[in-house]
C-alpha cells in the first residue's frame, strides 16, 4: 500500500521531479494504540527521509507503548550521558597518495536492541531530544581531536539547528586548533536554512574551521547557496557515485563538479565508492578525494586505508600544460 501511495504521488507530479517517503508501522507489534502507532510510523518516516533512496521505511525497534516510550526516553538519556555512545571514523583518502586526508566521525550506539543511528536520531526527534543527542555526539567526536593523526583532519556532521546552537559554539571555542576540523552540512540544510547557515559558516571560517557540503547532487538545487558559501569540500551524494561506471551522463556531471570545486579553491570528495569500477571512473574524473567501503570501512580510530584497489587503478593521463 505504501508503494502504491508513493507511485500515485509521483504520477501526479507529471514531468516534474517528485520525491516521496513513507513510514510504516504495524499493529500490534509496533504499538498498542493509535497514538503509539502514529509515533512509530513517524519515526520510520524520519528514517525514510534520511535514507539514500528516500522511499519506504518500516519501523524497526521496540514497540512504542506508554511504558516503552518512557524506556526509549531513558535509553536516550543514557546516550546523552555518553553511555553506550562511541565514535567510529571512516578515512577520506587522497586518491593519488593513498594516504588519509581526513576522517569522518560517525556515531555508533551500543544500547538496547541494536538499532542504528538513524533510528535513535529519529526517535530523539519524536521525543524532543535531538539537540541533546547531537551535542553528545559532537562531544564524543571532539574528544578524538588530541589523538588525530598528524597531517589529517576530523570531519563532523551538524544539523542546521545545531549549527546555530550556542552550546555547539562553546564547544568549538574550546578547541585549540580549529584548522584541523571540518564541519559538514548537507545541501538540504543550505536550501532550507540558507542565510542563517551562511552567517554561522562565515564565523566558523574566520576561526579557521573548514566547511564541507554533503549530499551534493541529491536533488535539492542549492547551487545559489553553494556559490555563496564556497565550501572547502564538496561531498558527492552516494547516488551520483553508485554505478557511475555504467552511466556516462553521471560521469560527465561528476567531472563538471570536480572542475567547479577546483575553480573555487575547494576539493571534491567522491563518497560511497564501493567497487573497483566506480573507483576507476571517479579517478578518471580527477576527483582528488575518495571515501567508501572499498578503501576503508568505518572503524575504531584510526583505521588503515586499503591501498590495493588504488594500486590496481590506472591514474588518468596528465593534461597538457
**Where do we find the cell 525514510?**
48
Burial class of residue 8 (count of CB atoms within 10 Å of its CB; 0-12, 13-18, 19+): exposed
CA angle, corner 212, sides to 309 and 146, nearest 5? 80
- In sequence order, what DSSP letters do the residues of 113-177 get, joined into one string? T---HHHHHHHHHHTT-HHHHHHHHHHHHHTTGGGPPTT-EEEEE--HHHHT-HHHHHHHHT-S-
Which pLDDT does position 294 carry in this prediction? 97
Structure confidence by residue, pLDDT tens digits, 54-74: 567 665 555 555 445 778 888
Q: How far is CA 137 from CA 78, 83, 187, in A?
A: 12, 11, 21
Structure confidence by residue, pLDDT tens digits, 223-278: 667 777 888 999 998 989 999 999 999 999 999 999 999 999 999 999 999 999 99
Taking all residues of the chain, what is their mean pLDDT, rounded to a whole number? 84
Where is average pLDDT lowest: 18-22, 139-143, 173-177, 218-222? 218-222
Q: Which three cell numbers stand for residue 211?
A: 566547511
Minimal CA–CA distance to 205: which of 229, 175, 222? 229
* Number of other residues whose CB lies within 10 A of the CB of residue 301: 15
pTM for this predicted structure: 0.79
Span 99-116, average pLDDT? 87
Minimal CA–CA distance to 288: which of 310, 312, 304? 310
Structure confidence by residue, pLDDT tens digits, 184-214: 988 777 777 767 778 888 888 888 999 999 9
**Residue ranges of the domains in the chain?**
2-64, 81-312
| Assigned superfamily of 81-312 | EAL domain (3.20.20.450)
No. of helices (H) and no. of strands (E), the chain:
14, 10
How far is 252 from 275, CA to CA, in rounded Å?
19
Three-state SS for 248? helix
Confidence of residue 38 (pLDDT cuts 50, 70, 90): low
Which pLDDT does position 272 carry in this prediction? 96
H/E element holding 231? none
Amino acid at each position: 500500500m505504501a508503494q502504491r501511495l508513493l507511485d500515485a504521488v509521483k504520477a501526479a507530479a507529471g514531468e516534474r521531479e517528485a520525491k516521496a517517503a513513507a513510514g510504516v508501522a504495524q499493529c500490534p507489534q509496533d504499538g498498542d494504540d493509535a497514538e503509539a502507532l502514529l509515533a512509530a510510523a513517524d519515526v520510520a518516516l524520519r528514517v525514510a527521509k534520511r535514507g539514500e533512496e528516500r522511499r519506504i521505511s518500516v519501523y524497526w525497534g521496540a514497540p512504542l507503548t506508554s511504558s516503552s516510550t518512557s524506556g526509549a526516553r531513558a535509553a536516550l538519556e543514557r546516550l546523552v550521558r555518553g553511555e553506550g555512545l562511541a565514535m567510529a571514523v571512516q578515512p577520506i583518502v587522497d586518491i593519488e597518495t593513498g594516504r588519509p586526508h581526513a576522517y569522518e566521525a560517525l556515531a555508533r550506539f551500543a544500547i538496547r536492541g541494536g538499532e542504528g543511528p538513524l533510528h535513535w536520531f529519529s526517535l530523539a526527534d519524536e521525543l524532543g531530544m535531538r539537540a541533546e543527542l547531537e551535542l553528545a555526539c559532537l562531544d564524543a567526536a571532539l574528544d578524538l581531536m588530541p589523538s588525530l593523526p598528524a597531517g589529517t583532519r576530523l570531519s563532523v556532521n551538524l544539523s542546521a539547528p545545531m549549527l546555530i546552537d550556542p552550546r555547539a559554539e562553546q564547544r568549538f571555542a574550546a578547541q585549540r586548533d580549529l584548522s584541523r576540523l571540518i564541519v559538514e552540512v548537507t545541501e538540504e540544510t543550505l536550501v532550507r536554512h540558507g542565510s542563517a547557515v551562511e552567517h554561522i559558516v562565515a564565523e566558523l571560517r574566520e576561526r579557521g574551521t573548514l566547511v564541507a557540503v554533503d549530499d551534493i547532487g541529491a536533488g535539492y538545487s542549492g547551487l545559489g547557496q553553494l556559490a555563496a558559501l564556497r565550501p572547502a569540500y564538496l561531498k558527492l551524494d552516494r547516488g551520483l557515485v553508485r554505478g557511475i561506471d555504467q552511466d556516462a551522463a553521471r560521469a560527465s556531471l561528476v567531472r563538471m563538479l570536480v572542475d567547479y570545486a577546483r575553480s573555487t579553491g575547494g576539493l571534491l570528495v567522491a563518497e560511497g565508492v564501493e567497487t573497483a569500477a566506480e573507483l576507476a571512473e571517479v579517478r578518471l574524473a580527477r576527483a582528488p578525494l575518495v571515501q567508501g567501503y572499498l578503501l576503508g570501512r568505518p572503524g575504531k580510530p584510526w583505521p588503515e586505508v586499503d591501498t590495493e584497489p588504488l594500486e590496481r587503478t590506472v591514474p588518468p593521463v596528465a593534461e597538457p600544460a
